[in-house]
Chain A
Amino acid sequence: MISNYFNFNVNNKNVKLREVSFYEYKNICKKILTDELDDLNIVFNEIIEATTKGPSLNCLEKFQCLMLLRNLIYGKEFNFIYDDKKIHTDLSLLMNGVKFDIPDICVESDGVLFTFNTPNNFYSKSMDDVIVDSLKKILIKDREINCSELSFNQRKQLLDELSLPIYETFLTLKEKLQDLNITFYKDATINIYDGSLLLFLKRVFQDDMMNLYSFEYACIRGLKLSAMDMERYTYPELKIFLQELTKEAKNNKPKPDGIDIEQ
């Protein structure tokens, strides 16, 4: 496994981000072949878990880390189809437009003050999940409980001990969290809790598996690398090695009269 970490400032948090090996990248591409949001949620959270070190991150901070990781593999250029036209864009424009949090959303119920902000997960499948995932603080009888470091299940347990109107709270959150939507291109926006964040990540990470296998084969054949080596090098590094090999091969090409210039 590669252990080279880069330091990044993500929403004023110091995050260490590790490059992924070709072997890890290939596995990511395999795992995101699904369209099931639950599965994609697990995969992208696993990637974050495996590649970042630092404070806990909300969904948009995680999103930013994944975009940085993607840029380490492919650079900032991204192509997509919009209105039947092929569009070339620079992902850093999108990343610069990400708003990580909004003014706290406060809901009072039964004498308890609940504070919400950006959810932690990439996707929430129900109203109560959005509420639990966005919970940051609870103020109950002058005692403040900071929920940011609590697990999802712990926050769920806390909320289950308190009375909070589910639908009204969800509508409030839905309205305010809209301000965090990421404008991707023109009127195309990415909602942060309905799964579109995951589908966008899938799109920017996905690669043609046959191309990847052909590339791996070329590395094994041409560079005489073993399967183990694929865990030691990144995709861009291997691309450079192959380019060098191609260059070398071109330079070593025998002259038309059959005399090899190197001989």
Chain B
Amino acid sequence: MSNTNFNDILNEIASSKAPLTSYSPSRKETVQMLPLTLSQQKSIIETSVDTTLAALFFNNTFFKILKQNVKDDISKFDTVDRVQFAIQLRSQLSNKYVNNGQEYLLTDVLEKNKKTNHNIKESQIVSDNYIFTVKNPSLVLDDRINSILINKYKNENLNGTKLKNLISDLFVHEILKFVPKLKVNDKEVELHHDLQGAANLLERIDSSKFVEITKYINDVRDLEKSFAVLPGTNINIDIVPDFFIV
């Protein structure tokens, strides 16, 4: 087939492609997105290969997909939205989700989530002379920080000291994701401008100052999980590469 004829067919298919309508819990509005392509599904499945960094790879890959498929400014959305978007894209491939032999419909989860309240707000945590501004990270920030860690550790043999370093880095960078500003003795620092410098700064702070921040982070992670709960159960869907193997 000539390239002109082929391009005509391709354009025709592309223009007739119906976007999915999803819902953003953080924005409380509908979002249009394109379904997962074959190569996007493949790239998700491939992220399950590396076990230690699998979660980071998966989130990184999934962010790239959302950037391509979401027909809106991706920087508007946060990590809670990611759960809803993932379930939406997966439901397009197959609406059925099986857990312990029991079948569930993902559209039921998506409907339930429209009524679930996204109640995490930006706030300030005071610990002695430190004032931390805490906020749920956007998908863009989450991706930037995950990329730093992936680049640092992807070629490393993760055992012994390297593994300890990774765990310590994961902790510091997790805090960093949630803390955009830090005020110490009237001096305010924007932490998300220079991520590497900010990580170094956080490493120097006594970890007892992070107790309240960790609670805030846990609240956000719990909220994310609540968006993955199957209605009428306490079963959580794990948003991992295997979820997309249908």
Residues of A within 8 A of B (CB): 109-110, 126-128, 131-132, 140-141, 143, 145, 149-150, 154, 156-168
Contact = CB atoms under 8 A, between A and B. Distances in A.
Contact of A161 (B10, B41, B45): B10
Given A128-B42, A159-B38, A161-B10, 19 more contacts: A109-B93, A110-B35, A110-B92, A126-B42, A131-B38, A132-B38, A145-B9, A150-B6, A154-B1, A154-B6, A156-B38, A158-B13, A161-B14, A161-B17, A161-B37, A162-B13, A164-B38, A166-B41, A167-B45
B126 interface: no
A150 B9 CA distance: 12
Given A132-B38, A161-B37, A168 B6 contact: no
Interface string B10-52: 1011101100000000000000000111110110010000000
Contacts of B94: 165, 168
Interface of B: 1, 6, 9-10, 12-14, 16-17, 35-39, 41-42, 45, 92-94, 245-246
Given A150-B6, A166-B42, A161 B13 contact: yes
Q: Which of A128, A141, A150, A161 has the most CB of B within 10 A?
A: A161
B89 to A, nearest CB: 9
Describe B's contact surface by its main secondary structure: helix
Contact of B39 (A110, A158, A160): A160
A128 B39 contact: yes
A232 to B, nearest CB: 38
A131 to B, nearest CB: 7
A167 B17 CA distance: 22
B44 to A, nearest CB: 9
A168 B95 CA distance: 13
A165 B246 contact: yes
A140 B16 contact: yes
A128 B38 contact: yes
B41 A157 contact: no
Identify the 4 closest CB pairs spanning chains A and B, nearest first: A163-B35, A166-B41, A160-B37, A165-B93
B246 A167 contact: yes
Contact of B245 (A131, A132, A157, A167): A167
B13 A140 contact: yes
Q: Which of B6, B37, B92 has the most CB of A within 10 A?
A: B37
A132 B42 CA distance: 12
A7 to B, nearest CB: 27
B17 to A, nearest CB: 6
Contacts of B38: 128, 131-132, 156, 159-160, 164, 166
A59 to B, nearest CB: 20
B132 to A, nearest CB: 43
